[in-house]
Amino acid sequence: MSTTKLTSVRHLALDMDGTIYKGGTVFEFTLPFLERMSKLGIGYTFLTNNSSKSVVDYLQSLGCMGIAADREQVFTSTWCAVYYLRQALPAVKRLYVLGTPSLQSELVMAGFTVVGDEEEPEAVVVGFDTGLVYPRLCKAAWWIKRGKPFIATHPDRICPTDRPTVLVDCGAVCACLESATGQSPQAVLGKPDPWMLRGILDRHRLQAPELAMVGDRLYTDMVMARRAGCVGVLVLTGEATVDDTLHLHEPPDVIVPSLKELGEMLAQAREQAGAMAALPS
């Protein structure tokens, strides 16, 4: 496959489960791939829709897998919500939040005030709230019904699990609130919304063709890449298969078996770019 689309790439947005690991097991090629990216001068950011955990939580999880990263290398749907609020609703500072303590602490760290049940907010933010209780659900509906902006951190209706239960996620809670209030969220962030990648573009001062979204799902990772104007790289180590790509109207820009092959292609693209730059003008 041609490396043309990869010649301008300076940074990677890396999906996690299905891309750098499967379940709790890191792929054997992941650490060599990340080391190779560092040598090539290509940055990378790990991203996730799960807003129940903080960046620190994810750094600890990655560290347990042997993957060293810093805060700037993790971008969650919570931080996508922060970016959206700052850009689209800059006057909003007081939030009523349905979310875990980790989610709420991230919003406070970003400079917002998370209000209590008896205080009036300027917007309602709904995330993956593993401790959701009925009175708070009702209070969120009350503020939404009264016209407060309604923001969802991500669209997932369930969180995958191998336990004998269904983990009701942000999208399902938002569906409940929408049914009760007649109001849809003003924004549903996280994958596949392009705001997720816009936040990374802005953080690293990149143009869209300089960022590649690398993931294993067509309907989230690849759709988001296309909507944001970034390079879409599909890896076949997770959900999507070759057969899934055969009849797509808009296939991903690059399809590779794994990160191993992507690393080889990026190295080749760098060599080609260097050779072109060395030619006399």
- CATH number, domain at 206? 3.40.50.1000
Task: Let me know whether 249 and 160 are in one domain.
Answer: no
- Angle, vertex CA 9, rays to CA 4 and CA 11, nearest 5: 155
List the one residue out of 261, 152, 249, 250 whose CA is nearest residue 214: 261
First to last CA, the chain: 28
Total domain count, the chain = 2
CA distance 88 to 187: 10
Per the CB < 8 A criterion, the answer to whether 192 and 223 are in contact is: yes
Mean pLDDT of the residues in the chain: 94
Same domain, 135 and 181: yes
Question: Can you give the length of the chain in residues?
Answer: 281
Amino acid letter, 278: A
Residues 43 and 120 in one domain: no
In a domain, 96, yes or no: yes
DSSP state of 123: E
Q: Does one domain contain both 273 and 218?
A: yes
Indicate whether 219 and 255 sit together in one domain: yes
- Domain-ending residue, one of 136, 171, 188: 188
Shared-domain flag, residues 106 and 173: yes
Catalogue the long-range contacts made by 255-260 (C-beta closer than 8 Å, 24 or more residues apart).
Answer: 255/1, 256/1, 258/27, 258/29, 259/19, 259/20, 259/27, 259/29, 259/30, 259/33, 259/214, 259/235, 260/29, 260/32, 260/33
DSSP 8-state secondary structure symbol assigned to residue 120 = -
- Which one-letter DSSP state was computed for residue 230? P
Owner of token pair 């922060």:
82
Q: Among 166, 188, 210, which residue terminates a domain?
A: 188
Could you tell me if 173 and 51 are in contact, meaning their C-beta atoms sit under 8 angstroms apart? Answer: no
Tell me which of 122, 156, 188 is where a domain ends: 188
Residue 248 lies in a domain: yes
For residue 99, is it within any domain? yes
Q: How many other C-beta atoms are found inside a 10 Å radius of the C-beta of residue 231?
A: 23
Read off the tokens for 273: 């770019």
Q: Which domain holds residue 241?
A: 4-49+194-278
**Running DSSP on this structure, what letter comes out for residue 99?**
S
User: Between the CA of residue 219 and those of 40, 191, 252, what are the distances in Å?
Assistant: 30, 9, 11
The answer as to whether 27 is a domain residue is yes
Is 94:112 a contact under the CB 8 Å cutoff?
Answer: yes
Which pLDDT value is given to residue 62?
95
pTM assigned to the model: 0.91
Q: For the packed helices 77-88 and 101-109, what is the interaxial angle rounded to 10 degrees? A: 40
Cα separation, 49 vs 66, whole angstroms: 22
pLDDT in single tens digits along all 281 residues of the chain: 557 889 999 999 999 999 999 878 899 999 999 999 999 999 999 999 999 999 999 999 999 999 999 999 999 999 999 999 999 999 999 999 999 999 999 999 999 999 999 999 999 999 999 999 999 999 999 999 999 999 999 999 998 877 899 999 999 999 999 999 999 999 999 999 999 999 999 999 999 999 999 999 999 999 999 999 999 999 999 999 999 988 888 899 999 999 999 999 999 998 877 666 656 66
